[in-house]
Structure 1
Amino acid sequence: MVRNSLDPSASPLDHYGGELRCYREAAELTQRELGAIISYTGSLIGQIETARKVPTFRFSECVDAALGTGGALTRLTDLVLRSELPAWFRQIAELEARATEIYVFQAQLVHGLLQTEGYARAVLGVMDGNDLERRVAARLARQRILVKEHPPVLWVVLDEAVLHREIGGAEVMRVQLAHLLGFLDNPRVNVQVLPFSVGAHAGLPGSFDMFRFASDPAIVYSDDYDTAHPSANPQAVEARSLRYDHLQAAALSLRDSAELIQRVMEDRYGQCSGADGSPLA
């Protein structure tokens, strides 16, 4: 058997692979034997050990439990998945992870923190199918901030056009809109819709995010095709805060927004169902 060489210093993914191999060999298990214990293939374990596949949190949790690592690999997974984000976006992911409050206006798409796997795959696959699964996994990993012990408060205002723009097909949109409805009773994740009837509004210049922190100055962020533009300039923050106040005032209430989302889901995308497939009231 040829043993593939590893350079754990090459990247966080290589480091993870090296640690996985060390823990597995210390337990005197082959890749196939470990795979049988955790219900994964030995081939997949080999690919992760040699940095050809990105580990998921579920995989890491299973290995940690099987090998008694004390959660070491699970803790590494955040670093690995963040390293898979585009270099220009990593700073934004760090801001999301540190923020106590996040305010979002999106005119084109469901925000990445609220995207389903199918929706994210359709968005990220436009014009670039390279390493798609790795990029989707990295995007979805950002959403773990919403279920951590002290999650941020997330306010999202979506232009109504986001609901009507069919991305990934009708089934993907049904699941995505059902996912948004699932946050209705979560006081820390709030989704409002800016209806077409508003006409001209404060968000016409484009989408933006705003981050507030426990002790650091607030930061506003906007992006274009492949760059990010964060700013802590007080005038910029004040201007975006004012725009956001006007957007929230013009948007539908949380419950009225949910009713519109459900109506669009039924009218445009067919049977109205929850994320688990059960009918929604």
Structure 2
Amino acid sequence: MVNIRQLDPSASPLDYYGYELRRAREAAGLTLAQLGAIVFCTGSLIGQIETTLKVPTREFSERMDAALGTDGKFSRLVGLVLRHQLPSWFQPYAELEAKATFISSFQAQLVDGVLQTKAYARAVLGTRDDGDIDGKVAARLDRQRILARDQPPVMWVVLSEAVLYQEVGGREVMREQLAHLLAMQKRQWLEIQILPFEAGAHTGLMGSFYLLRFDNDPDIVYTEDFVQGHMTANPEAVKEGSVRYDHLQAAALSVADSAALIARVMEERYEDQPDGRDLA
């Protein structure tokens, strides 16, 4: 007899999702293979999601809703599942980020998570193999949905020039990532500036940080280290963060000059070039 893993739907959002998916599939009288054939994926993948071995994506959830006639149930659940894949200390920030009307971001070493490509995010998150990397990547990419809303937040991002040269994932991944930054700059509510090396000492030397502004709630400033995040609405801290950010914007290249620098680095550093052996 096949040993069917019993799930506790109250254990986590992922367990609840798997429990409900199995229940809906069985109610429809479908085997894993039959449902897989309908939604163009393997029955094995569906089984892994039902037993919490894999994290579902939004696309997968939409297919399940269409195939099982569940009226958007899994499309609604997947947001909770993906949010739960984020580090527990980061989840409060992610919830506020999704509600913010204005986001200011300074990044000293990496591309902002909301602007990362899938390959870049995988390379960043894969530096430590501590769990389901697919789930972590899906959760990070899901944060980017805020930019696709009908009324997205106004977002201003200042990146240190070092971000362009820190080769994360290899040249092809970096080329794709910088091309993505250039494409994102065309969005009406998003601006990207590069803080050049020539700026010298600047107000962001202490590290990356975010400022979030809301329509009806206090502003907050968010920083993090490798252990946890730190978020505060203390007026003095928010004021200090705002002043620091204003100085960073003033020292950074203009939006147009920043785009030109991104394009130049992408071409000169990451375009395909013959290696030394070919030249020899």
Q: Alpha-carbon deviations, 1:80-118, whole Å to 9, x = none?
A: 011111111111111111111110001111011111111
Distance apart, 1:129 and its partner CA: 4.9
Tell me what 2:213 maps to. 212
Alignment pair present for 1:101 and 2:102:
yes
Tell me, yes or no, if the aligned pair for 1:184 and 1:255 is still in contact at 8 Å: no
Q: One-letter code of the match for 2:72?
A: G
Tell me what 2:278 maps to. none
Q: Alpha-carbon deviations, 1:173-230, whole Å to 9, x = none?
A: 0011011001122011211101111112121121100101110000000000121110
> Cα–Cα, structure 1 residues 191 and 271, in superposed 2: closer, same or farther, change >3 Å?
farther
Tell me what 2:222 maps to. 221
Tell me what 2:118 maps to. 117
Distance apart, 1:149 and its partner CA: 2.8
Tell me what 2:8 maps to. 7
Q: One-letter code of the match for 1:27?
A: A
SS in 1 for 2:90: helix
Distance apart, 1:30 and its partner CA: 1.1
Distance apart, 1:59 and its partner CA: 0.4
Higher mean alpha-carbon deviation, 185-194 vs 10-19, is at 185-194
Q: One-letter code of the match for 2:236?
A: Q
Distance apart, 1:271 and its partner CA: 5.0
SS in 2 for 1:180: helix
Distance apart, 1:131 and its partner CA: 2.0
Q: One-letter code of the match for 1:128?
A: D
Say how many residue pairs are matched. Answer: 272
Pairwise CA RMSD: 1.3
Give the distance between the partners of 1:271 and 1:91, measured in 2 at CA.
41
Tell me what 2:43 maps to. 42
Higher mean alpha-carbon deviation, 139-148 vs 214-223, is at 139-148
SS in 1 for 2:98: helix
TM-score (norm 1): 0.94
Distance apart, 1:251 and its partner CA: 1.1
SS in 2 for 1:182: helix
Tell me what 1:278 maps to. none
Tell me, yes or no, if the aligned pair for 1:112 and 1:120 is still in contact at 8 Å: yes
Correspondences of 1:122-271 after superposition (within 5 Å): 122-271=123-272
Q: One-letter code of the match for 1:237?
A: V
Q: One-letter code of the match for 1:244?
A: Y
Tell me, yes or no, if the aligned pair for 2:54 and 2:132 is still in contact at 8 Å: no
Give the distance between the partners of 2:6 and 2:150, measured in 1 at CA.
38
Q: Alpha-carbon deviations, 1:129-185, whole Å to 9, x = none?
A: 532222111111111111123221111000000001111110010011011001122
**Ranges of 4+ aligned residues in structure 1 off by more than 6 Å:** none
TM-score (norm 2): 0.94
Unmatched 5+ stretches in structure 2 = 274-280
Q: One-letter code of the match for 2:216?
A: S
Q: One-letter code of the match for 1:196?
A: F
